[in-house]
Amino acid sequence: MGKYLAKRLGQSLLILLGVTVVTFLLLFLLPADPARQIAGRSASAATVESVRQQLGLHLPLWEQYLRYLGKLLQGDLGRSFVQRTEVGELVWSRLPATLLLMAGAIGFELLIGVPAGIVAAMRRGKPTDNAVMIASLVGVSAPQFVVGILLLYVFAVQLEWFPIGGYGTFAHLVLPAMTLGILGGGWYGRMTRSSMVDVLRQDYIRTARAKGAAEQRIVLVHALRNAFLPLLAMIGIDIGLFMSGAVVVESVFGWPGIGQLAWQAIQQVDIPIIMGVTLVSAVFIVAGNLLADLLAPLVDPRIRLR
């Protein structure tokens, strides 16, 4: 276990190092001169030059990268061009809102996807199965911003069940979390169905049936537990979908998380913030994948760690 843990941690750290190289190069590719951006449009050439010296932009590329990496390790994500604050602080202060939204979305995902997948697997090949599968494809094909605006229109504007947007109470969370959960719900439905179909075919299920266990118990206790495994591996992919989705959903609902931060940064071409969000979401995805790998053997002792 210890050896495996060390190996997977090492791999994850290497990927994160690669991630920092990519974000650094993207910042470097920037057509606009960061020194000019920070000094302001009216600054004199001398001021711009001194900012450039301060930022170390005159150094060779590899040295700039090392300085960039060194700052990252101290939690310094650079300074915003527009807001004149530390990117790290901005991201940090907005992270809780996004995490709350993600937790809500996971709830909706499981609530929509798992039952749909179970029902489809039990009625395999029948009209119910086909209907569920088409519905899940609709969920996957629906643009999130349209789903978000639709939910707002129906439940906030017409029915007035929920607030139109904002942050603070449980009622504020429902619509954005549902919007974010529908896409993943579609994927979970398909995944649950295919893994349930595989599990229901296995010998131990036949044994359970032969022993006269109730169908409900077979499906919910015997099969579901094993069918859940492939879903666990989705955590990393899920976080990726959430991070992308958060930008859209938070901008539609005015949810003050890092997605909205990124969206505001897009409007103002504030590249350091965009890179900061990119970096943080990559860290989350790598951590999610690591977590999925480490949890798998706890849920299923048959999986041996290599």
Binding site for another protein (CB under 8 A): 15-16, 18-19, 22-23, 26, 29-31, 130, 134, 137-138, 140-146, 149-150, 152-153, 157, 239-241, 243-245, 247-248, 251, 262-263, 265-267, 269, 271, 274-275, 277-278, 281-282, 285-286
Contacts of 279 (CB under 8 A, 6+ apart): 19, 20, 23, 72, 77
DSSP string over 199-217: HHTSHHHHHHHHTT--HHH
Q: Give the closest residue to 263 by CA, choosing from 281, 246, 279, 280.
A: 246
Q: How far apart are CA 166 and CA 183, in angstroms?
A: 22
* Of 213 and 233, CB closest to another protein: 233
Determine contact, residues 77/86, Cβ cutoff 8 Å.
yes
φ/ψ (deg, to 5) at 79: -110, 140
Determine contact, residues 185/116, Cβ cutoff 8 Å.
yes
* Of 157 and 221, CB closest to another protein: 157
Q: How far is the CB of 179 from another protein (least distance, A)?
A: 13
Q: How far is the CB of 283 from another protein (least distance, A)?
A: 9
Q: How far is the CB of 26 from another protein (least distance, A)?
A: 6
Q: How far is the CB of 266 from another protein (least distance, A)?
A: 6
Q: Give the closest residue to 175 by CA, choosing from 190, 191, 157.
A: 157
Q: How far apart are CA 77 and CA 279, in angstroms?
A: 9
Q: How far is the CB of 241 from another protein (least distance, A)?
A: 7
* Of 138 and 225, CB closest to another protein: 138
Alpha-carbon dihedral sign for residues 246, 248, 251, 255 = negative
Q: Which residues pair with 199 in a beta bridge?
A: none
Q: What is the dihedral of CA 270, 71, 90, 13, to 10 degrees?
A: 100
Q: How far is the CB of 73 from another protein (least distance, A)?
A: 18
* Of 206 and 225, CB closest to another protein: 206
Q: How far is the CB of 281 from another protein (least distance, A)?
A: 5
Q: How far is the CB of 298 from another protein (least distance, A)?
A: 24
Query: Hey, what are 29's tokens?
Result: 């590719």
Q: How far apart are CA 301 and CA 39, in angstroms?
A: 58
